[in-house]
Structure 1
Amino acid sequence: MVEVDYAQLQLWLVSFFWPFCRIGAFLLAAPLLGHTSVPARVKIALAVLLSVLLGPNLPPLPAVPPFSWPGLGIMVEQMLIGLAIGMVMRVTLAATQTAGDIIGLQMGLGFATFFSPDTGTNSMVLSRLLYMIALLMFLAFDGHLLELELLAGTFASLPVGLLRLDPSAWEMLARYGSTVFASGLLLAMPLVAALLIINLAMGILNRSAPQLTVFSVGFPLSLSVGLALLTVLMGDLGGFLGGLFRSGLEFLAHLIAGLALPAG
């Protein structure tokens, strides 16, 4: 008969609990695996599966009871690391939503909104379309597998129980939020420039010929030209998203290396 004492049970629990905290927090923040359309049971099952697979290959874990004050500190540390890793690619993909909002406003589609369950707010149809295309491209480029590979490597560079994270790395993560606006505006710039020229031309035309109703001509013209330019943009969207994903993964590796540095 196999007997398991309390010490062995605690050792087994510690071996899988700390990785589960980091992986679970990552799955909550990751853009694809953490999507609201994925059931919570699936996320928990995937976190447990990855913890079981990674547990035997991890460096020596601290002999700290999970249900104690030091254990609470380690749990918070693991969750912060997992959330930081997942937020990087979520911020990267959010650039496509920003581009969709900018293009939609210029095309006159600001009224075409619907409730988005993953954000809990109303989002433009064009923004949602570009975001779903970005998610599919991210899946096609195996970005989710690269994220999991980087996550598994953090257990060697950021061992459990480190209890010291470089504060400058969190500042670097906050500054990376500018990617949402910089990359989003860069993606929307061709359409914004063309539609801005059309709006300026319609304004000059309205001043020279007041009898011409701008609202009856300008809106269909902006919408038609915007859809035509959006069709052209789709041909180069894959290359742009590939570079965006590459820069996001490079920053993620840089962030992990920055977190591994001692504070101070």
Structure 2
Amino acid sequence: MVYSEQQIMAWASSFFWPLLRISAMFIAIPVFSGRFVDNKILVGAALMVTFFTLPLLPEHRAIDVLSHEGIMTGLQQLLIGLSVGFVLQLVFSAIIFAGQGIAYSMGLGFASMMDPTTGVSVPVVSQFYLVLATLLFLTLGGHLVLIEMLIDSFNTLPIGDIGMERSDIWSIIAWSSRIFSAGLLMALPAIVSLLMVNIAFGVVTRAAPQLNIFAVGFPITLILGTLLMWVTLTSVLGNFTNLLAESYGVIGDFLRIRR
């Protein structure tokens, strides 16, 4: 059996371009892109997903990898995959921001640990919320929905076409402000409650200056903050779920997927 160079390039192209888009998503997506995940696992997962989804993808014309068109096509696939993962990173950053606000309000801002997913030192409260959010994300099958949307994007954003537009990038940048608004919404009940307690401590200090407010106030705020975390846990995870659903809507918009 003799195969021409054009046939070999067509076969390699049909596998390389989907692999590039899927690999870029796995590099940027939360949970799977953490430092605790070995690079071999990421490469194996990207190869496996590409191999099993290749028969479902539409046919596209062969593009020379080393040509100018091939370089631009490769950049387009990387941009699409990284954008999908970046939007999910914003969702998890919002819950980290919420945990930081609660930790600083209850006096646990100094208690921090290294986040294995980002490699940045974050308060233990943020790490607690992040672990719960990760478990909720996997339980709801968020990673499976994301892979399904990325596979559908090969029909709406075919390989070799224009791909994402400038307006799509600006929409992602504008939506990134949800880190602060959604994070503040998650942490607002606990922050307001602890603020009222601190105001009460201030009144007590003015009424009894001889009272050592630091010795009395810190244990109370710590216990109350832990209690508020338990009471507001359902609300925080509910807001995280809503933000996750909103992020899928943003991803569907720039992938041209209507659900």
Alignment partner, residue 183 of structure 1: 182
**Residues 8-87 of structure 1 correspond to what in structure 2 (within 5 A)?**
8-87=7-86
**In the comparison of the two structures, how many residue pairs are matched?**
257
Q: For each residue in 1:90-135, what CA deviation from the matched residue of structure 2 results, as whole angstroms up to 9, or x when unmatched?
A: 1112111000000000010011012223323211111111011101
How far is the alpha carbon of 1:241 from its aligned partner?
A: 2.7
Counterpart-to-counterpart distance in 1, 2:243 and 2:162: 32
**Residues 185-204 of structure 1 correspond to what in structure 2 (within 5 A)?**
185-204=184-203
How far is the alpha carbon of 1:254 from its aligned partner?
A: 1.8
Counterpart-to-counterpart distance in 2, 1:146 and 1:102: 30
**Residues 90-129 of structure 1 correspond to what in structure 2 (within 5 A)?**
90-129=89-128
SS in 1 for 2:24: helix
Counterpart-to-counterpart distance in 2, 1:238 and 1:128: 14
Q: Does 1:257 align with 2:256?
A: yes
Alignment partner, residue 167 of structure 2: 168
Alignment partner, residue 236 of structure 1: 235
Query: Which shifted more, 123-132 or 50-59?
Result: 50-59
How far is the alpha carbon of 1:229 from its aligned partner?
A: 0.9
| Structure 1 residue ranges without an equivalent (≥5) | 259-264
AA matched with 2:123: M
Q: For each residue in 1:219-255, what CA deviation from the matched residue of structure 2 results, as whole angstroms up to 9, or x when unmatched?
A: 1111111011111112434433322221221222123
Query: Which shifted more, 31-40 or 83-92?
Result: 31-40
Q: For each residue in 1:7-30, what CA deviation from the matched residue of structure 2 results, as whole angstroms up to 9, or x when unmatched?
A: 221111000000011000000111
Q: 2:113, 2:121 within 8 Å by CA — same for their partners in 1?
A: yes
How far is the alpha carbon of 1:164 from its aligned partner?
A: 4.8
How far is the alpha carbon of 1:5 from its aligned partner?
A: 2.9
SS in 1 for 2:177: helix
Q: Does 1:143 align with 2:142?
A: yes
Q: 1:137, 1:241 within 8 Å by CA — same for their partners in 2?
A: no
| Structure 2 residue ranges without an equivalent (≥5) | none
Q: For each residue in 1:29-60, what CA deviation from the matched residue of structure 2 results, as whole angstroms up to 9, or x when unmatched?
A: 11122222221111111111222222233223
Counterpart-to-counterpart distance in 2, 1:208 and 1:20: 68
SS in 1 for 2:232: helix
Counterpart-to-counterpart distance in 2, 1:206 and 1:245: 43
Alignment partner, residue 262 of structure 1: none
Q: Does 1:155 align with 2:154?
A: yes
Q: 1:23, 1:82 within 8 Å by CA — same for their partners in 2?
A: yes
Q: 2:29, 2:88 within 8 Å by CA — same for their partners in 1?
A: yes
- In percent, how many aligned pairs have the same letter? 33
Counterpart-to-counterpart distance in 1, 2:90 and 2:83: 11
- Report the TM-score, using the length of structure 1 for normalisation: 0.92
- Report the TM-score, using the length of structure 2 for normalisation: 0.94
Q: Does 1:221 align with 2:201?
A: no
Counterpart-to-counterpart distance in 1, 2:131 and 2:162: 38
Counterpart-to-counterpart distance in 1, 2:37 and 2:2: 39
Counterpart-to-counterpart distance in 2, 1:29 and 1:156: 22
Counterpart-to-counterpart distance in 2, 1:15 and 1:206: 72
SS in 2 for 1:198: helix
Q: For each residue in 1:156-212, what CA deviation from the matched residue of structure 2 results, as whole angstroms up to 9, or x when unmatched?
A: 000011135321110110111111111110010010000000111111211121101
